[in-house]
Amino acid sequence: MADVITLGWRERLALPQLGIVSLKAKLDTGARSSSLHVDALETFMRDQATWLRFSVSVGRRGARQVIDCEAPASDRRVVTDTGGRRTERWFIHTDVMLAGQRFGIDINLTDRRHMLFPMLLGRTALFGRFAVDPALSHTQSRRLPAGADHA
């Protein structure tokens, strides 16, 4: 595991296929799956497959930007949150850019408006790539690498 990169408990990442160039994320080794806050979510059919249309708010409070996204649904399954509540959530598969790496992960779409971070990166996405040091925070440059804004 010599190639594992150590990151802090909070970092910025990009979701290039969704057009999101910078997003605050909490790296959580206690959570199995990754979650993304969406403001609105609707399903629709395209080419005989279920697709999801949703919006994501990015940026600081005074300069928030809403990004409208579409992605094919990859799954719908029950997720248990930290409070023990079980809810059925839609999942998508999309690329993440973090610490100079681009890789695909599954993300569930949910309401995280009462959380500090719009994105939670769970241990399934971290495994084999990153170690998390809870004493560290924002170890990566605020400026994400070129190409983060392209699909």
pLDDT digits (tens, 9 = 90+) for 42-87: 999 999 999 999 999 887 777 788 899 999 999 999 998 878 889 9
In a domain, 26, yes or no: yes
In a domain, 149, yes or no: no
In a domain, 139, yes or no: no
Confidence of residue 123 (pLDDT cuts 50, 70, 90): very high
According to DSSP, the residues that pair with 43 across neighbouring strands are: 52
Taking CA atoms, 29 is separated from 63, 77, 123, 131, in Å, by 31, 20, 5, 9
Query: In this predicted structure, what is the pLDDT of residue 151?
Result: 35
In a domain, 68, yes or no: yes
pLDDT digits (tens, 9 = 90+) for 87-109: 999 999 999 999 999 999 999 99
Instruction: Quote the tokens at residue 4.
Output: 């594992």
Which residue has better confidence, 141 or 55?
55
Instruction: Report the domain count for the chain.
Output: 1
Instruction: Find the CATH number of the domain harbouring 24.
Output: 2.40.70.10
Portion of the chain with pLDDT greater than 90, in percent: 70
In a domain, 104, yes or no: yes
Are 131 and 6 in contact, with CB atoms under 8 Å apart? yes
Of 4, 5, 23, 3, which Cα lies nearest the Cα of 13?
A: 23
Close Cβ partners of 21 (under 8 Å, ≥ 6 residues apart):
14, 144, 148, 149
Domain range enclosing 114: 5-133
Please state the rounded mean pLDDT for residues 31-37: 93
